[in-house]
Structure 1
């Protein structure tokens, strides 16, 4: 807006000059009271007014560069200021050493791969649905080989072996049915094995392990999700998974249908584990 006002002001002056000398109209004498009848005097008076206006503007709003220069010239001299340029390279030379120290600290805080031992008292349970009713069970015998580090997920592995004959639902007749050839067929396939080499961090304390489940002679992709809290050399783990029993042939003959026994079976686990002291 300031530049627009200046442009309009310049056009106004140009118009006045045009009327004065090209059209022969005494515009300047009319506009400048003290120069009536004198065109040259009117022009000089007008220019003097414009110059005075700019001078007043500079005094009220000084140029920023001039103000900065005045502040620098007014600042007291600091002893040893001439040595400042030579101090900058010295600071730059020390930077690599600081960066190296910081990298060393980061390396020290990383947790190396370790073989974790699952403590007794862990739980591996499952929930199936019979005519819409939840049937809870657990496996009392299972073992896990876990090589893991949250900082080395690419090299981490999980292998869980489950003794299918240890299935316990609290009903002896039902447990015997699970061991039979209609379901787990423990005579031919005593164990179920989950193994994973693809472990991913989902954020916070949440992880995901993608691998395969070998059950009743069939091997299918399986994914489990778990939470992990590590305190020193001790870890607490809990997680869940869901499998389709029909994909593994668990349920033969009349039990293959899903109207009585649902296809989806939920797995839940929790345990603590320790690693060798670092």
Structure 2
């Protein structure tokens, strides 16, 4: 079974990203991946699992998520209900222990990939509450008075959108990589992977519009790779030509399907104001 990640047909990975993945695997440390939303952080874990032929276990983090949820939860309500119904299984508390995603990764018969997705959405103490488990690959189940130890140390991928700072003690235990926004050549490769039959002239003109929007200072949310792919799909399906895009660019009017690129009214109004100012200067 492969133990090194070299990208996949579905995922264009830069050399520094592949190096980071393989370094984290070699060091047996979690790989902490940061970057703009829409730059493929979650998809990276999916493609690592596919490339290495390993099971992917996803732990999506929310604002209410606690570290304990990843270990296990004790369902006291179900046990109380069963005791009232006279069910014999109440005598074995193990029936009411629900495995969390970390436990599932620890219990896997083969090495698994564990994705802890968007860790920065949780409370600031969440990362610190996982330090021992990530270091020692074990945790204690108080209800059964047993230790759960990992059969195989999972490959752990942790994503963050940089919404809040992570504790230093947690960062020391990770191998860090920041996914920079792709350059134009890489964008063209990504587009080719997703839409191999798309018109190349349309792609070139669309990239001119897209990079022009991203380069604008003052946008609240710059469009990312995800928005670019959605926009290209719409342009292609609606039969928009590269000449039409060129006309919009030359006349300083918003491009067709601009709602796929700009996701809030402030940015839409800001963009329209800039276009109007440019038209006035040209007039």
Q: Per the shorter chain, which TM-score range?
A: under 0.3
Structure with greater strand percent: 1
TM-score with structure 2 setting the length: 0.17
Q: Which has the higher contact order (CA 8 A, sep 6+)?
A: 2
TM-score with structure 1 setting the length: 0.18
- Kindly name which structure, 1 or 2, has the bigger radius of gyration based on alpha carbons: 1
